[in-house]
């Protein structure tokens, strides 16, 4: 008989404190640095440019996540996946039998808006029965697809950082996402030198987005 586990059990056995604290730290630092970069760049402060803040935040999140994976030697493999129809890229992280993407959502319980790549990956999360409470995962269907989500009303700080898994079709959560917002206590803040290095990477990413037209409809041209 196949082994069955809940999403909570999957989280507890795959996400140790070192990984979750680094993920939470990366998201928190991304919000802090975006506010700093906006304050230093007048063009990002004008009303129309604010529409681009979401794209810019996503870029900083990916930059810092990749740095954390490398600098802290986390057991995570990452790569950039490109969406063929628009050239937009996103970060894909893999470790053990987990595949993970990262998304800004409207609220702490919201599922990221539908997208072809997320819907396709969601079918990795086949379950034996949706009528179980809580739903169970059949281990032979792994690797399992999860999402790291974040969001908040303020530019400088997220209200929540969560890890959740979606049902096939990517319209609802398998179970309540797990909050990791306060998991970063053991990590020291980035140094001024690291901030400066990230700003260089950020400026390079902005130029690439401008060249691709990613920001042309988001307030920066």
Position 86 pLDDT exceeds 70: no
Residue 77's pLDDT band (boundaries 50, 70, 90)?
Answer: very high
58 vs 141, which has greater pLDDT?
58
On the CB side of 149, CA atoms within 13 Å amount to 23
210 vs 77, which has greater pLDDT?
77
- 201-220 pLDDT, tens digit each: 777 766 665 565 555 544 44
Cβ contact 5:136 at 8 Å? yes
219 in a structural domain: no
- Report the percent of the chain where pLDDT is more than 70: 81
29 in a structural domain: yes
Locate the DSSP E strands across 113-215: 136-138, 144-151, 160-164, 178-179
Average pLDDT of span 108-127:
89
Position 172 pLDDT exceeds 70: yes
Write down the pTM of the prediction: 0.84
- Report the percent of the chain where pLDDT is more than 90: 38
Position 153 pLDDT exceeds 90: no
Average pLDDT of span 146-167:
93
220 in a structural domain: no
Count up the domains in the chain and report the number.
1
| Residue 26 backbone dihedrals phi, psi, to 5 degrees | -60, -45
CA angle, corner 188, sides to 33 and 66, nearest 5?
55
Residue 218 is predicted with a pLDDT of: 45
Helix, strand or coil, per DSSP, at residue 55: helix
Q: Which residue has the tokens 């996103």?
A: 90
221 in a structural domain: no
214 vs 177, which has greater pLDDT?
177
102 in a structural domain: yes
Residue 62's pLDDT band (boundaries 50, 70, 90)?
Answer: very high
217 in a structural domain: no
186 vs 37, which has greater pLDDT?
37
Quote the mean pLDDT of the chain: 83
Position 191 pLDDT exceeds 80: no
173 in a structural domain: yes
Average pLDDT of span 21-46:
86
Domain that holds residue 71: 4-212
Residue 54 is predicted with a pLDDT of: 81
Average pLDDT of span 184-210:
70
112 in a structural domain: yes
Residue 208 is predicted with a pLDDT of: 65
């Amino acid at each position: 008989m196949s082994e069955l586990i809940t999403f909570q059990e999957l989280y507890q056995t795959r996400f140790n404190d070192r990984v979750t604290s680094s993920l939470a730290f990366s998201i928190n630092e991304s919000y802090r640095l975006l506010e700093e970069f906006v304050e230093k760049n007048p063009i990002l402060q004008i009303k129309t440019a604010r529409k681009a803040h979401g794209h810019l935040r996503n870029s900083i999140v990916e930059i810092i996540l990749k740095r954390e994976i490398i600098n802290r030697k986390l057991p995570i493999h990452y790569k950039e996946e490109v969406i063929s129809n628009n050239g937009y890229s996103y970060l894909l992280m893999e470790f053990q039998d987990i595949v993970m993407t990262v998304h800004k959502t409207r609220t702490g319980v919201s599922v990221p808006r539908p997208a072809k790549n997320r819907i396709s990956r969601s079918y990795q999360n086949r379950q034996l029965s949706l009528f179980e409470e809580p739903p169970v995962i059949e281990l032979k269907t792994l690797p399992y697809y999860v999402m790291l989500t974040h969001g908040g009303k303020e530019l400088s700080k997220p209200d929540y950082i969560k890890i959740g898994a979606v049902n096939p079709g990517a319209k609802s959560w398998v179970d309540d996402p797990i909050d990791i917002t306060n998991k970063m206590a053991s990590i020291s803040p980035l140094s001024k030198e690291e901030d400066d290095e990230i700003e260089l990477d950020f400026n390079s990413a902005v130029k690439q987005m401008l060249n691709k037209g990613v920001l042309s409809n988001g307030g920066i041209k």
